Chains A and B, each alone.
Chain A
Amino acid sequence: MKIKRRDFVKLAGVIGAAATIELYKPEIMEVFAAAKDYYHICWLNGAACTGCTVSFAQATNPDVVKLLTSIVVGNDDTKVGTARLGIRLPDYMETLQPASGSLAEYLKDNVWKNATSGKRILIVEGAMQDAGWCKTGGSDFRDVVEDAAGSADVVISFGNCASFGGIPGEYGNVTGAMGLQEFLNSVGVNKTVIVAGATCPGHPDHLILTLADVIQGIIPEVDEHGRVKAFFQYSMHENRCPFRPYYDKGQFALKPGEEGCRYKLGCKGPVTYTDCALRKWNNHVSYCVEPGAPCIGCAEPTFPDIPGDQGAFYAELPNLPVFLGTPVKTWGEALVIASAVGVAAHLVVRTVRKPKKEGV
């Protein structure tokens, strides 16, 4: 390996996430190129909308074309099928793979599962549910995941649904939707899930940088929700928001289309930890707040709700202006200020959702 071992997600935290992937593009590519054996990916979709796959297809540096043409089949093109690059098109990925039906299942159950130990990456998109709500290839999705996670060397959740239950796990959750870590804990699979994408949908950079780390044997540092710290440690509002000066001056947009801080439009930036404002989306052209929308807090475990209650995207955070200067930092603090009932609700939710810390 030509490059020294680099922890790209850590760099993303130090340098600023948007810059990392640009500054280190050749090195990130090299990571994928330098590994001597394939990493095998199994990408499973549970209670998903496929938005995370579509989001992944918007990746840049390396983009999906690069993954398909250079990385999948190798840069040694002198022989057909000579594949010596580090990562290949997923062995299993319902939304993109060429194979259907029984061949698709075979590729998952044999090729992926029997790949070299240490090289099997499982990526899950979409929430886990109670038995009977989701079937694929004739099996209950719970069994599919339990089985795959048992074999996987690294387990990654991509997107809020896979990480925390997300949309199907919303208030009124009728199918028992939950995040992957909670599910694995409940069925006794002793694996730690790396939450590479907490947002809705997952951000392609977050996944690609995490994979670049994993392929070098680096397991990124995560927060108490399993989220990769480098991407999810800073408050949108405190550390990252370009509209922050408006807030400090007390200039608020009161209706859509007005200029000013989006706080009174219901912006959840103050209780949301993500690097969206710096990294931006879709080849870094924009992000939610820029064209006048409020942040809806999609990187948080409680999304799309507030702890213990149904969410409201356009509702102002409780009581924040009272504490100008020392704004609240989490949903918990917001609700401490709001009411004791809120605190109780918050504790209940955190207890249910918090992943147990277990060894890899």
Chain B
Amino acid sequence: MVTVTIDPVTRIEGHLKIEMELADATGGALGTWQLVKPVDAAGKNGGAKSSGTLFRGFEIFLKGRDPRDAWMITQRICGVCPAPHAMTSTLALDQAFGVEDKLPTAAVLMRNILHGAYYLYDHPLHFYILMGPELGVLAKYPPMVPPALGVKGISSINLGTSYAAAVEHQRRAAEIVAIWGGKFPHHMTEYPGGMSVRPTVDRIATTFARMVGIWEFVAITMQNDLNAIVAQNTTITNAVNSLIGAAVGLDDIGVGTGNFLSYGLFPDYTDYSDWIDPKKRDKSLVKSGAWKKGDTAPGQTGFDPDKVTEDVKYSWYSSASGLKPSVGETTPQKDKAAPAYSWLKAPRYDDKVYEVGPLARMINTWGLTWSGDAFKRVHPVTGEDFGNVSWTVLNANGSIVDRVAARAFLSLAIANKMFEWIAALKSYLNDPVVEYKDVPDTGSGLGLWEAPRGALLHWLEIKGKKIDRYQCVVPGTWLFSPRDDKDRLGIAEYALSCGTTWLPKNLDVPAVANAIYPAADVDLSAWGVAAKQKWGDALGIALTPHGLANLNMEPYTGTPRYNTSLALAIIRSFDPCIACAVHIITPEGKRIVTKL
């Protein structure tokens, strides 16, 4: 058996190592392609293993601190998704301070606006900068390939146009976070019971001005680019079929278990009571839910926070397994023998392997077809109607293209909502922004929100006006979890072992691209290359001066070498954010949170 290791996996947050045990070789027109060893029907025995490799130690910092500091410290768990950590922590604080049912409407609106802008920074950033390059290469779509040929590449063959536009776009969206939060990353204006920032005409106007360009990017550019990628799916499927005799398209890659968990996002500011109970959350923009494989409509399987448990058989802990996070006590064991291979615990919901993240949010809110008013495209200034868009999920168990589409569609739904929230806030200019309360002597609170990568939980307990206990269960743990006590793979491991993750042997990125797109039609004459080039050769010409001729080949030199492009696309489709927290109590009773 051959094992291929990718370490470090780049264009993600944090330190991640992936190992893939390969099944026997399959011959093909271009030579051998090998498959990552597939899982069996019970979700066991797949070839992929994921392990996080950094440990920081968060919870011990929090113990003894003023509870109001918690949201500022915990947002520094992750600089890519700091705002969701701040929000989740603040929701837990709202509850612990006993003010969650008294939030001023102005504060609810400002939270929605700040965090809406945050999502409009994050989803496009992932769509283009982190995930986009693989999709651009795979779909022969130059706008999403990084601008490796510079300004002239942008102007003459559109190489990197959308990529470059996305860099500017994310900055504009982050400016809105800064308008309401002081700066980004690590904004400053949350407070238990509300916000510390006031709505002003200036803040509202500057937000609106920036939102116009953001809306255009999300509603037009991003949708066009998604369509361009999807339009190549048939070509890709047919090409792969002729190469290896398996009709594998973008919707057959990175397939998950079909179970999707969402905690909900963006409360309805006209009915905040709907938001407070996480089992309800029907009126929020994104609903809570625990969609089970085979479900046909949102709400069929409701979410119950009590059904979350965490296993540790394959994790470097010696404490009991299968506990609920609220009572989970975990002792780290650095030298725990194999089969343990990760600092991450294995969270499971209702004893099943669940996927969290963009697709889980969409499916729990809109089901398997996303359409309607949320996805209208009426220009906020000119009123021009670009037509509604809709999406029918291509693979009900999840796939890389459905995950990408989910980011594009949620971005559009949020961009539309932002204008509603901004307009509504004008009526609250003189209203209170916080239901102020002194730090309580004792209390506890649960915060449930969504980071772009998926469901995020914070829980804290206050004693003597100080933090006594703090816990987070974060999306990275759900997604990159190791095997559980029943030996079932975590969701990303599962998706890598779903039976379609091919690693072409000794075939580099240009060779595979040439095989999928044999036409020589890329015009590089602006660089003095006379003949038109095949897509793969053009990529080779662009990549080689950057030292990237062996991109994604593992190892980069020698034989055999395996092309890991598909595996990387699958890993990145989950938007790994390995700055995730796992909760530890040392034998002395000290608590720490580990950053993996």
Chain A contacts to B: CB under 8 angstroms: 45-55, 57-58, 60, 63-65, 68-70, 72-75, 77-81, 83, 89, 91, 94-107, 111, 129, 132-138, 141, 167-168, 170-175, 177, 200-201, 255-257, 265, 281-283, 285-293, 296, 304, 310-315
Contact = CB atoms under 8 A, between A and B. Distances in A.
Contacts of B203: 291
A79 B542 CA distance: 11
Given A69-B150, A100-B568, A132-B334, A49 B553 contact: no
A54 B133 CA distance: 18
B184 A80 contact: no
B69 A256 contact: no
Given A99-B10, A101-B564, A312-B65, A83 B178 contact: no
Interface in B506-556: 524, 526-529, 541-548, 550-556
11 contacts: A51-B185, A69-B151, A80-B149, A95-B10, A99-B552, A103-B551, A103-B556, A134-B15, A170-B73, A201-B79, A292-B189
Nearest to B561: A102
Contacts of A100: 6, 8-11, 552, 564, 568
B488 interface: no
Nearest to A286: B178
Given A80-B545, A313-B72, 12 more contacts: A45-B15, A80-B542, A81-B545, A98-B551, A103-B552, A103-B553, A106-B556, A107-B547, A167-B56, A291-B179, A293-B189, A296-B72
Given A256-B436, A257-B433, A283-B171, A133 B186 contact: no
B54 A135 contact: yes
Nearest to B550: A103
Q: Please give me the 5 A-B residue pairs with the lowest Cβ-Cβ distance, nearest first.
A: A51-B79, A81-B545, A256-B196, A77-B152, A73-B150
A51 B82 contact: yes
Nearest to A98: B548
A316 B467 CA distance: 19
Given A73-B148, A135-B54, A257 B171 contact: no
Nearest to B197: A291
A50 B78 contact: yes
Contact of B184 (A58, A129, A138): A58
A99 B184 CA distance: 27
B550 A257 contact: no
B368 interface: no
B373 interface: no
A200 B185 CA distance: 9
Nearest to A289: B182
Contacts of B334: 132
A256 B553 CA distance: 54
Contact of B194 (A74, A174, A256): A256
B447 interface: no
Interface residues of A: mostly helix, strand, loop or mixed? loop
B528 A75 contact: no
Interface size class of B (residues with CB under 8 A): 35 or more
Interface string B184-207: 111011010011111000010010
Contacts of A257: 194-198, 432-434
Contact of A313 (B60, B66, B527): B66
A228 B554 CA distance: 41
A306 to B, nearest CB: 12
A92 to B, nearest CB: 9
A68 B184 CA distance: 22
Contact of A171 (B55, B61, B82): B61
B60 to A, nearest CB: 4
B76 interface: yes
A291 B188 contact: yes
A175 B584 CA distance: 13
B307 interface: no
Nearest to B5: A101
Nearest to A254: B436
Interface stretch (B160-168, B264-272, B318-326): B160-168
Contacts of B7: 101, 136-138
Given A95-B13, A288-B183, A312-B66, A80 B524 contact: yes
Contacts of A315: 66
Given A68-B164, A292-B197, A312-B69, A96 B186 contact: no
B585 to A, nearest CB: 12
B167 A65 contact: yes
B170 interface: yes
Contacts of B64: 172, 310
A233 to B, nearest CB: 21
A359 B65 CA distance: 39
B178 A281 contact: yes
Contacts of A50: 13-14, 78-80, 579
B548 A286 contact: no
B284 interface: no
B436 A255 contact: yes
Interface string B1-37: 0000111111111110100000000000000000000
Given A52-B79, A100-B564, A291-B182, A47 B191 contact: no
Contacts of A129: 56
A98 B146 contact: yes
Contact of A285 (B12, B179, B568): B179
Nearest to A292: B196
Given A47-B54, A256-B195, A98 B68 contact: no
B495 to A, nearest CB: 17
Contact of A49 (B72, B129, B579): B579
A245 B280 CA distance: 48
A310 B65 contact: yes
A195 to B, nearest CB: 18
A81 B546 contact: yes
B178 A293 contact: no
Contact of A291 (B11, B13, B170, B189): B189
A273 B101 CA distance: 40
